[in-house]
Amino acid sequence: MSILLNNHGYDNASWAEILGELLPEQPLYIYNQLDNETLDAIASEIEYAVIWNHPAGDLQRYPNLKGILLLGAGTEHIDQDNSVPDLPIVRLIDPEVLNDMALYTLYWVMDLHRQFSVYRQQQQQGLWQRHDIGQPRDFRVTVLGLGAVGKTVAQRLHNNGFTAQGWDRYPQQIDGISCYEGDEQLATALAETDVLVNCLPLTAGTRHFINDTRLQQLPEGAALINISRGEVIDDQALLKALDCQHVSRAVLDAFAIEPLPEQSPYWQHPQVDITPHMSGATYARSAARLIADNIRRIENGEAPFPLHQHPSRIAAAS
């Protein structure tokens, strides 16, 4: 009974170390340290794949696989692989990551509300000038997508005095927070927005969801924060909205291509703040315990959580 680990593009060593401590009885193999011959030789041993952005088709190699545990909350990589075995797929929802993302959003909402970017510019000019602002309760922040991330973000903003509201395709309820639902209520939510926070997952239905039409439904001067996936935003539409000042500022933590190419106009745009996809880093020190607990649940015949339903299975069921 062995684990295959592949945190593609990120750190494997810390995960291997901590998972080894939590599950000492289970041998662990790091995918990118093995050649195809070795992988074929150990294929029958592998019962759990702990992965991120794993090569499409490879999971078919392991005949005794019992579970697929993702090293992140996003599922776009595995959703694109139609050869994934019909096994439990478990997303990684780490409360520490949710807290980080909520704090990141709160920081930038405060920055936008208090106009700190203006004061930073004034410092460079040696200019002493105050600017009037409204109360936090009059500053409207709309969170797109009310999954685990969106709900945590909205609650943190609400608890700090901002008027947080949310939108999701399906009905949601959050104490003290207005929740809009469905396509018919999206325009209303956007029209009542000072800052739009993207927490939508990347799916076939959300690619370029934030497009020219929806950006134009925001009030003039609204701002955008993206802590989800870059491809949810139509980059050309956003740049157009920024250039004509309809969108006053964009805080972007995720991009369609990462690392962000040197030639991207976002780098030098005066109304754009960039961070390198760090709003909610996944830490092995906390998240590995969630992985280990879910492996134990599967071993004990219990359902792991949170389970993800692969699009191919949804299509088959319908």
Based on the residue annotation, tell me whether 277 is a catalytic residue of this protein: yes
Closest CA to 247 of 157, 112, 110, 123: 112
Edge-first strand listing for the sheet containing 272-274: 178-181, 163-168, 140-144, 195-198, 222-226, 247-252, 272-274
Catalytic residue among 277, 289, 297, 308: 277
**What whole-number distance in Å separates Cα of residue 153 and Cα of residue 253?**
15
Residues contacting 45, CB < 8 A, separation 6+: 1, 2, 27, 64
Closest CA to 241 of 267, 223, 264, 255: 223
**What whole-number distance in Å separates Cα of residue 306 and Cα of residue 65?**
18
Catalytic residue among 91, 140, 214, 229: 229
> Residue 245 has what DSSP assignment?
T
**Residue 294, SS3 per DSSP:** helix
**What whole-number distance in Å separates Cα of residue 55 and Cα of residue 264?**
27
From first CA to last CA, the distance across the chain in angstroms is 35
Give the number of C-alpha atoms closer than 13 A to the C-alpha of residue 141, restricted to the C-beta side.
Answer: 34
Based on the residue annotation, tell me whether 114 is a catalytic residue of this protein: no
Catalytic residues: 229, 277
